[in-house]
Amino acid sequence: MKQKLISLVLITGILILAGCSAPQRGSTKGGIQAFELHRDVTVPANKARVVFQHGRAKPAKNLFDWHCELEINTVSESPQRVLADTFMVTSASARIVRDELSGMPAMPFGVIDCGDRFYETHYRLQSTRQPGVRKMICRNGYTFCSGGKFAGRNEMREIFGDWISVR
């Protein structure tokens, strides 16, 4: 009888876990074909990214507010300029991570791993005029297992303001 009960509990547990889905990952361009930068922007010294948040270009960000980061290939001791241009999206991927800096994936089972989560989308960019521009990373943080979502066009309008248009 004890053996049957243990088997029943194990089978039930396996079925419950099989029904859980892993964090979203994979290609997700969301219909976004390009990012159009309307004016030059400066990447700060000793950095490879400039942050856009609340309609402004900034050197730093609030992790738990919508933000996007335009990333270039090089870090320099002096500020670098990205010229106004249209950057085509060549691919995109989305993931949910537990730690924005390390990129450690969030556990697929929220009850086991109920901490901060960052919903992020990486857009690989291409420009013939500026091949050193690498990608746009858009993300938002959510605390304590609150429901989250990936940045869409509406969120990007608030993130970029009049700096960038999404096509």
Q: If residue 157 lies in a helix (H) or strand (E), which one and from where to where?
A: helix 153-160
Q: What is the rounded distance in angstroms from the CA atom of residue 34 to the CA atom of residue 102?
A: 27
pLDDT at site 102: 72
Q: What pTM value is reported for the model? A: 0.79
Provide CB contacts within 8 A for 132, sequence distance 6+: 72, 73, 74
pLDDT at site 30: 72
Residue ranges for the chain with pLDDT beneath 50: 5, 7-27
Sequence ranges of the domains in the chain: 23-166
Q: If residue 6 lies in a helix (H) or strand (E), which one and from where to where?
A: helix 2-19
pLDDT at site 114: 63
